Amino acid sequence: MTNEKNILQDSHGRDHGYLRISLIERCNLRCTYCMPEEGVKLSPKSHLMTYEEIYEIAKTFVNHGVTKIRLTGGEPLIRKDIPVILEKLATLPVELSITSNAVIIDKFIDILKANGVKKINVSLDSLDAAKFKHITRRHEFEKVYNNILLLVKEGFIVKVNAVLMKGFNDNEIIDFIHFTKDLPISVRFIEFMPFDGNKWDMSKMVTYAEVMNYVNTSFSKDQIVRLQDAPNDTSKNYKIEGYKGCFAIISSVTNPFCDSCNRLRLTANGQLKNCLFSSTESDLLTTLRAGNTIEPVIQKAVQAKFKIRGGMDTLDKLQQPKLHNNNRSMITIGG
Ligand code: SAM
C-alpha cells in the first residue's frame, strides 16, 4: 500500500516540493556541453507526454505537496502546444516558472504573463557574439541578449545561467558581474557537469573557489556582499555593493547541495528522475497509460534517491566515465 501521506519524502528525510518538467527533447541551439556532437536519439512522438498527460502527472505531484513547477527541455518554447500546457498548469496551485534559451521568448511575453509565470531563467554562456556562436553552434546572440533586456523591462524576475569552461569564458566572469550593475538580474555561474557524451573532464571546469578568486582580485572586500541564500537554494549568492543585480555560483561538482535537495525531474518521455545525476529512471508514463495509479512508482523512486549526486558521492566517483556516462545527456534530462 502506498503511504498516501508523504510519498515525496525520501529515506534521508528530504521533502520534494519542486518538480522540473522537460517538455521536449529538441532544442533550437546545439550547446556543446549539453548535447553530444552527433546529436541525440529522439524519442518517437508517441513516447512523449501529451499536454493532458503532463497535466495529470503534475496534478498528482501537486496533490502530494509539490508547490513549484519549472518547465524546461530541450527548449520548452519550441513545443507547439506550450500555450495550452501553460494554461493547464496555471490552474494548479503552484508557482510556475520556465528555463529557456530566450531565442524566441519575445513572442511569448503575453502568454507567460497571462499564466502567472514570473520567474524566468535564461541560459547565456558568453557576452561575446562570436563565442556564443561557437558554443551554441547558432548565430542567435543578439536575439538572446535583447530578449534578456526585454524580459527585465516587462517585469519578469530574470536569472541568467552561464556554464563556465576554462579557457573559454572564465575571462568573462567579471564582464558578467558588470552586466548586473544596471540590470536587476542574477547571473549564476554554473560548474560544468558531466553527462553522457559531453566530453567533460575536471580540467575544463571552473570551480566555485576559482570564480571567487576572480571576484576577489577585481573588487575590494567591502564591495563584495555575501547574500542570504534561500532555503533549498542551489546557489551561493553575492552582489557587488551598489549594483542593481547580483551573482551566484552553482557548485554542483565541488560543493554539492544535496542535503537540502527538494527537486525531482520528469523527462519529456515521462520518466521520473530522482536526481540530475541518477542513472536510473521510473516510468510514470507507461504506468499512467496502462490506467494504473502512478503514486506507488513515485514513492519507490523517491525512496531510492541517493544521499549525494545519484550515488557518485566523491569527486573521484564523479570523474569515472563509466559512472557519469550511465545517464542521459542533459538535453534529454531537462536541466
Ligand atoms: N533550453 C533551455 C535553456 O537553454 O536554458 C532549457 C534546457 S537547458 C538543458 C537547462 C540548463 O542546463 C541550461 O542553463 C544549461 O546551461 C544547463 N546545462 C546543460 N548542460 C550542462 C552541463 N553539462 N553542466 C552544467 N549545466 C548544464
pLDDT tens digit at each of 335 positions of the chain: 444 569 999 999 999 999 999 999 999 999 999 988 788 889 999 999 999 999 999 999 999 999 999 999 999 999 999 999 999 999 999 999 999 999 999 999 999 999 999 999 999 999 999 999 999 999 999 999 999 999 999 999 999 999 999 999 999 999 999 999 999 999 999 999 988 778 888 899 999 999 999 999 999 999 999 999 988 888 999 999 999 999 999 998 988 889 999 999 999 999 999 999 998 999 999 999 999 999 999 999 999 999 998 888 888 888 888 787 777 788 888 77
User: What distance in Å separates the CA atoms of residue 83 and residue 110, rounded to the nearest whole number?
Assistant: 10
Ligand 1 close to Cβ of residue 198 (< 6 A): yes
CA of 192 to the centre of ligand 1 (A): 10
Amino acid at 5: K
Q: Angle between the 141-153 and 129-136 helix axes, to the nearest 10 degrees?
A: 110
Ligand 1 close to Cβ of residue 71 (< 6 A): no
Strands 263-266 and 18-22, by their bridges, are parallel
Query: According to the model, what pLDDT value does residue 5 have?
Result: 61
Query: According to the model, what pLDDT value does residue 322 have?
Result: 79
User: What distance in Å separates the CA atoms of residue 184 and residue 49, rounded to the nearest whole number?
Assistant: 36
Mutation choice for ligand 1 from 26, 27, 33, 267, CB with most ligand atoms inside 8 A: 33
Among residues 181, 241, 244, 234, the alpha carbon closest in space to that of 208 is found at 234
Query: According to the model, what pLDDT value does residue 4 have?
Result: 52
pTM of the model: 0.95
C-alpha cell read off for 252: 554542483
Mutation choice for ligand 1 from 98, 190, 250, 267, CB with most ligand atoms inside 8 A: 190
Which segments within 168-324 are labelled E, that is strand?
A: 186-191, 224-226, 235-240, 246-250, 263-266, 271-273, 282-283
Burial of 242 by CB count in 10 Å (0-12 exposed, 13-18 middle, 19+ buried)? exposed
